[in-house]
Structure 1
Amino acid sequence: MTIQAALLPLFVQVGLTFALMIWMGRMRVGAIRAGELQIRDMALGERVWPARAQQASNAYHNQFELPVLFYVLTVLAIVSQKDDILFVILAWIFVITRLVHAWVHCTSNRVPLRMKVFVVGAVLLMVMWIIYALRILLAF
C-alpha cells in the first residue's frame, strides 16, 4: 500500500477538524457581534455560549478525543509497514463515521443517532487496534 493511500483518510480527518474549528469560530464571533454575550463573559469557561455556538464547540472538541487514537495508529501502521489494504479500508470507514458523527452533531444533534454513529466508529477503531497489535505481536 502506498503511503498516500494510508495518509489520505488521516488528511480528511484533519480537514474535518479544521472545518469544525472555522465553523466554531464563526459561530462564536457571530454570537459576540449579535450581543448574545460579552467577551469578558467567556473568559473563564465555555458554558456561556449560546446553544448553537456551544454545539459547534462540542463538535470541534470531539475531534481531539477518539480521533487521536486513529492518528497514532495510522502513524504506527505506516512506520511498521502494516498499512495494507485492510488497514486503508478500515481507516476510510472510521473517517466516514467521524464525518457522519460531525454532520449529526452540527445539524440535528440527535443524540441517539450521534451515539450510534460514535459507537460504530469506536468499535471499528478498537478492531483496527486489535488487528494491528496481533500483527505486531505475532509478527505477521
Structure 2
Amino acid sequence: MPANLLNPLVAMMVLTFVVWVWMYARRLGYMVRHGIDPQQVNTPQKMALLLPESVEAPSNNLKNLFELPVLFYVICLTLLHLGWANTGDVTAAWLFVGLRAAHSAVHCTVNLVKVRFAFYLLSSLVLWFMLATLLRRVLALG
C-alpha cells in the first residue's frame, strides 16, 4: 500500500507542471498578441500593470501550489519513508489532490472566489487531517 501514495504525490507534481505550462501559454500568448516587450514586464509590479488579471491568474495559482502543498509533499514523503502509509492516507492524499486540481481549474479560468475558496478550504481541512494523523502516529512512538 505505501507505493500507492506515490501516485497522488506525483499527480500533485503534474498539476503544478500543468499550471506552469498554462501560465506561460497565457502570458506569452497575450504578450505576443499585444506587442509587449519582455523588458516592459521585468518585475511582478510591471507585469500586474500590463497584463490583465485573467492572464495573471495562473501565475497566482502557481504561487499557491508552493504554499500549503509543500506540507502535503513532506507528509507523503514522511509516510513513505517510515512505511506508515495506509489506505486512509492514500484516500486523503487523492482527495487533497482532487480538491487542489479543482481549485486550480477555477483559479486559472473563471476565478469565482467563493467557489475557489470552498475548494481551498476543503483541501486545507484534508491536509490538516493528514498532518494530525501523522502527528498522532509520531506521538504514539513515545
Q: What is the TM-score when the length of structure 1 is the normalising length?
A: 0.93
Give me the whole-angstrom Cα distance separating, in 2, the residues matched to 1:91 and 1:56.
Answer: 23
Mapped to 1, the partners of 2:28 and 2:109 lie a distance apart of: 19
Alignment of 1:1-140 (within 5 A): 1-3=1-3, 5-35=4-34, 37-45=36-44, 46-48=47-49, 49-139=51-141
Q: Distance in 2 between matches of 1:36 and 1:118?
A: 35
User: Deviations along 1:91-130, whole A, 9 cap, x unmatched?
Assistant: 0101110011011112221001111110111011001101
| Higher mean displacement: 30-39 or 73-82 | 30-39
1:16 partner letter:
L
Q: Identity of aligned pairs, percent?
A: 30
What amino acid maps onto 1:91 in structure 2? A
Q: Deviations for 1:33-91, whole angstroms, at most 9, x for unmatched residues?
A: 01263312211223132222211211222111111110011000111111111100100
Q: TM-score if structure 2 supplies the norm length?
A: 0.92
Runs of 4+ off more than 3 Å:
none
Q: Count the aligned residue pairs.
A: 139
Name structure 1 gaps, 5 residues minimum. Answer: none
How far apart in 2 are the matches of 1:100 and 1:115?
11
Separation in 2, partners of 1:12, 1:130: 22
Q: What value does the CA root-mean-square deviation take over the aligned residues? A: 1.5
